[in-house]
Structure 1
Amino acid sequence: MNRAAALTMVRDDAFFLKAWLRHYGGLLGRENCYIVNHGRGEEVARLAEGCNLIGIPGDPHPNFDMKRWRLLNNLVQGLRCYYDHVIVGDVDELVVLDPARGETLAEFLGRTRGKRVLTPIGLEVIHRIDIEEVPIADAILGPRRFVRPAPHYSKPCILSTGTKIARGGHFTQFEKLIVPEGLYLLHLKYCDLGQYAQAMNRRNAVTAAVGAPPAEVSIGRHWFAEARGDDAVLFRGFADLPLQPGFDLSPVRAQMQDSWKPRGDTGFWQFDRPEMAVQYELPERFYGLI
């Protein structure tokens, strides 16, 4: 069986790190999990015991995203010397395979040939605070049952070839778009109102420490307090998204393929990423998957 590794970078996000470790540690083995511990946090080190931990300084920096993805890019290319596939992304992004495929993600990658980049369909797990009162404990899916399509998070994040990844992980210089059926990237940012508020408080603190406006830094604008708004209003708005029947994401996959093109003269490739103000209810087969 081909060997796969997972790579992320984290600072203080214990809730999301626990989910990341349950998922990839269980599927791939902790010995194949690589975590950049930004700021050398003691809790991160404790939770990630048995994984490969890389501690780096945590000083606030206006070019945070640029530095982060330069490091992750180089780590991916190094790990490729020893693994057939490397999954890379933020700690609140998890790649899953639809259980209807009848195999695990590790088994799927084990029979997937290399020299390619795989792009899962991005789905944001949303907390419907109007109807989902059960708190998250050992699993996120089940207590949370709804997702909205998020083309912005359909990231080329499983690599088995040498290619450059753009800042944020949204694009690569691999010329072919491969979107396997039933492969999804679940973005967990909105999976719980309380955890969202805590994470945003930490991010707002980071940008405040940097002390520069969004236009002058390489940090996502959503990290800044002025872009935040009212958390409860944001989450109540999820109930207004039209609920789609069934769980057929093939139109999303087709849209990605139909709009595939070079990203100007940057050397990167892209598909259109329209806003999709709809939601789906996950089939029960996904419950407990993460």
Structure 2
Amino acid sequence: MTVTAAAQLERWQRFRTNRNKALATRHGWLTLTSFQWLEPEPSAVDLVPGVWSTDGTTAALTAAAQDGLTLVATGEPVNGSVTATLADEESLMWVQFGGADGQQVVVELAMRADRYAIRTRDSGSPVLTEFDGVPTFGYNPDLVIEAGYEPYAEPVAIPIGTANPLVDGMHYSVGEVVFRLPGIDHEYRLHAEEEKLGALTITFHDGTNGESTDEWRKVSTPRPRVDAAGNATVVLDFNRAINYPSAFTPFGTCPMPVKNNSLDARIEAGEKQPTLAD
């Protein structure tokens, strides 16, 4: 193994360690235990004390001190009614309860498809407590690919589905990543979204989906590099392909790939389908 190859492997192993640590946070994606729409009529919900409702614009919660709910932001007990307002796609870690410290379960308020919902995040969930890392394919240096990047003049909004059939999504394509895979003689073009600091994220299907991997995955690239001639390139490292939260929980609203982001190849790199505790 060359020094360069050894360094690449070490960086990937560091990436995997950090990825597993990020997933295993106390109220992260491995702790989701419900997704429930709020109704106009004040009513009880599963797994959470209090009475919940929405008028379509604002979410409301009414609870008594003995219910044990406190506001996540301040720790103040909920004794009466509290309200919150979100824009579409926003979320708020709103109230908490349970456990020795009163913080075992966090209730996330979310606005999805212009409707209010709550998700419970229970740090006692066996999906978290029995988590031992996401299984992956072995590191494959052949799937670290230099790709061209062709940006659009303006982002293009493309309607998409999500992991929740009741929630539609939107993919804001900022350009196309253009590349070839080893042993395949045709070119691929995948739509990309822009993330922080100009990084790109590509959500894709491939031939392993539903077998060794989840129904779709995503891979991020660093910010594109532009040479003196104005040509942009990115490093597309499929070893860093990861699952969306919906691979770990049925309560996610994760975006599906756009129609064209399907590879007629098996990408045997990156994260596999996780094995989850019952």
Q: Same fold (TM over 0.5)?
A: no
Point out the structure with the larger strand share: 2
- TM-score normalised per structure 2: 0.24
- TM-score normalised per structure 1: 0.23
Point out the structure with the larger helix share: 1
| Larger relative contact order (Cα-Cα within 8 Å, sequence gap ≥ 6) | 1
